[in-house]
Structure 1
Amino acid sequence: MKDLIQRYFDAFNAHNTEDMLACLAPDVEHHVNEGTIRVGRTAFAEFCAHMSRCYDETLTDMVIFVNEDGTRAAAEYTVNGTYLETDGTLPPAHGQTYKLPAGSFFSIADGQITRVTTYYSLSGWTAQVS
């Protein structure tokens, strides 16, 4: 299952939402950092479109962990980004760059990701772009 998680993140870094979606179960639960839970590939694709409009991000220093039976995984990484367009009530965007540690947690069934939960410090990000 480590290969599945690696494919997901390779697609993220390639800005290839279609390849990310191919890793996900149709009813995937996407637990967004400090946001609501989105369910399904369509909601995930809409989130990705919004994020791509507002942020340009690449993940580095990736370490992936998988439990023995392959039903859970986690990844720790560094987010390297540029804030492209003001996102809602967040600080105004004017091309600020940022770098912060983050992590994702996954549930896996039948060779697909059924849950993605992502964590990072929003206050840390805000301090960097303000």
Structure 2
Amino acid sequence: MTDIVQRYFDAFNAGDTDAMLACLSDDVAHHVNEGDIRIGKPAFASFCDHMTRCYRENLTDMVIFHNEDGTRAAAEFVVNGTYLATDEGLPEAKGQTYKLTAGSFFDVANGKITRVTTRYNLSDWIAQVS
């Protein structure tokens, strides 16, 4: 079901965490590129707060795919970003801009996203901001 995934990404690009959360199940599993799996909307909201503090990003060139029954989806896109505040363990932030290709994968049930997995090339990002 690409509709819920499209709404999720529209909310991301609008910087609207509440609208993103509205797309998620209460027990959403959030698999980040580097780090532990976060379970539940509160953990997802905390992640979003951290990301908003450290990064400003806009996603373009979005292509969304889904399986026939709408229970799984994937998206490929370009992340256009600015590194705003130093993220722990990463290079110092000085307002550097970056551009990365990335992908996200979703499980969907009962009209809500139950899993979000995002992947990008961390080495490429580090090279761009170093």
Q: TM-score range by the shorter chain?
A: over 0.9
Partner of 1:13: 13
Give how far 1:102 is off: 0.1
SS of corresponding position for 1:6? helix
In structure 1, stretches of 5+ residues that fail to align are none
Query: 2:34, 2:26 → 1: CA distance?
Result: 23
In structure 2, stretches of 5+ residues that fail to align are none
TM-score under structure 2 length normalisation: 0.99
What value does the CA root-mean-square deviation take over the aligned residues? Answer: 0.3
1:87 partner letter: D
Give the 5 Å matches for 1:18-97: 18-97=18-97
Percent of pairs with identical residues: 72
2:42 partner letter: T
Aligned length: 130
1:72 partner letter: R
Query: 2:34, 2:51 → 1: CA distance?
Result: 15
Task: Note the alpha carbon deviations across 1:68-99, whole angstroms, 9 max, x for none.
Answer: 00000000000000000000010000000000
Query: 1:35, 1:61 → 2: CA distance?
Result: 26
Partner of 1:102: 102
The runs of 4+ residues in structure 1 deviating greater than 6 Å are none
